A and B are shown apart, each in its own frame.
Chain A
Amino acid sequence: MAIKRKKAIVKEKTAIHESIIAAGFGGQGIMLLGKLIGLSAMNEGKEVTWISSYGAEVRGGTAHSMVIISSLPISSPTVKEPDTCIIMNVPSFIKFEKKIKKGGLIVVNSSIVKGNSKRKDIEILKVPATDVAKKLGNVRVANMVMLGAYLKKRGFISIETAISSLKEIFTSKDETVIELNKLALKKGWEAAGGRG
């Protein structure tokens, strides 16, 4: 079913429906990651919903955000069976790996999540996001490395849109912050096989 759907997307580029769960520790920039996906998709003219997880999420706890991108109006913002999971820590891997739709995608921060998925019916993309971010000089941009890889892999949103949308997120930050995030997006893009 999922494979059929993929083919349909190739045929008709405008018909898109992608549900995403991004998850990790509080403080890893999970909410921001989700918001940037939403914002970028919106800026490309798509319909979008974003909603954060409820619960007593605190620093060190696990947080997640649910994003839906569609070419049609979206009814419910909640995601039970995601097409894609962007996973940045072990507890989130355990919690969400089993929920992904058949034929779906999981993007894993392999710097932190060492284990392998037992599922054979989903695609796995490993990105050493935390290591890449450390090399860039700030571990906090690991979320952007993950996003860059996701953008390349799925191809629903262009990296250029994500980069231009950064300034709408970091409205009060100086240029160096935006530059660093931009660089992290590009490194993620390259990690998923994109040309830099």
Chain B
Amino acid sequence: MSKVVKRILITGNEACAEGAIRAGCRFYAGYPITPQNELIGYMSKRMREAGGTFIQAESELAAINMVFGAAAAGERAMTSSSGPGISLKQEGISYLSGCELPAVVVNVMRGGPGLGNIAPSQSDYFQATRGGGHGDYRTIVLAPASVEEFATFAFDAFDLADKYRIVTLVLTDGALGQMMEPVPGSLFSDMKPAKRQSKKGWILDGCRGRKARSIKSLFLKDGELEELNKKLQRKYEEISKKEVRCEVLYEKDSEIFLIAYGIVARIVKSCVEKMRKNGLKVGVIRPITLWPFPNDIISKAVSKAKSMLVVEMSEGQMVEDVRLAVGDKCKVRFYGRSGGNIPTEDEITKILIDSRRGK
């Protein structure tokens, strides 16, 4: 046996929690729900060691509003849940967005709608990328495809949230949350404690000796709210220019691109590697930020590709964004599994071969 690099075997949920702690998250409030329970469980132990505050709230609504309070006071704050709980948090997320407060929300998706089931799913894509709550707002959405990325994206989410004073979502699924896989032994020790944001000249930390501040999302004066809306839009535009993340494999010669995110992207990649060995010119596009969506990257790929196949664990959500990016420049096909089923390599391969035959 050659030299074996030291690695750690850890679940996605726990790795995410540790990544958040390393980013300087010192406030966590949440309410248990499968399949994200390992996250709240890990936080309950680790947050105290880190000297922060852990609260098992009485409900998801309470948890997101506690996060609101902590963020307003300048703390790096986070909550997590799965589909049904995230729906309950939407009011709070809208208020956070209206107040331009930074916060991190993790959604370990399960099958829906309603209580659905507790198996992995990607059916909260619309909710995540369209704001989710009421009002004209956006949240940054990061979609990890491995346990390691789940940790690093949770880490990055706090910097993004602070940089733009925005809610950042880490969107993953029950499989990635609950599975264990090795991460590099130095993953967490290499995460440098994030710089404290000195720009927090807006936080509510007691106004003795300075002018009083207020944080609010109610703007009744004539023109006041539109001014905020325009400001938010300028911010979203800046994020769309600077923060797009996307992975492209075999960009140069692919005739067909498979597009998927999260755990499905891994399966799709594996298919593509096998097909490449058989001489098929196929490639992969993996959006990492679901908002901002990598429109330009996809649009550029289209100029050479004949068709695209979007694979999701839903009945077709991201595919709409792909179609918007592509327009009528090439054919966009879709394959989805739902209800907690993960598409297999064999299924995807068959769809791809059929589509090459023009079926």
Contact = CB atoms under 8 A, between A and B. Distances in A.
A48 B34 contact: no
A38 B35 contact: no
- A interface bracket (residues with beta carbon within 8 Å of B): 20 to 34
A43 B178 contact: no
Interface residues of B, number: 27
Given A54-B119, A76-B342, A78-B342, A44 B179 contact: no
B175 interface: yes
A86 B182 CA distance: 23
A7 to B, nearest CB: 20
Given A76-B342, A78-B342, A42 B182 contact: yes
Contact of A48 (B9, B174, B263, B342): B9
Interface string A65-84: 00000000111111010000
A111 interface: no
Nearest to B145: A75
Nearest to A158: B1
A76 B180 contact: no
Contact of A54 (B5, B7, B35, B181): B35
B263 A76 contact: yes
A38 B119 contact: no
A54 B267 contact: no
A64 interface: no
A51 B179 contact: yes
A42 B1 CA distance: 12
A52 B344 CA distance: 18
Interface of B: 1-2, 4-5, 7, 9, 34-35, 117-119, 174-175, 178-182, 263, 266-267, 269-270, 340, 342, 344-345
Interface of A: 35, 38-39, 42-45, 47-52, 54-55, 73-78, 80
Given A39-B9, A54-B117, A76-B344, 13 more contacts: A42-B9, A48-B180, A49-B179, A49-B180, A49-B181, A50-B181, A51-B175, A51-B180, A54-B34, A54-B118, A75-B269, A75-B345, A78-B175
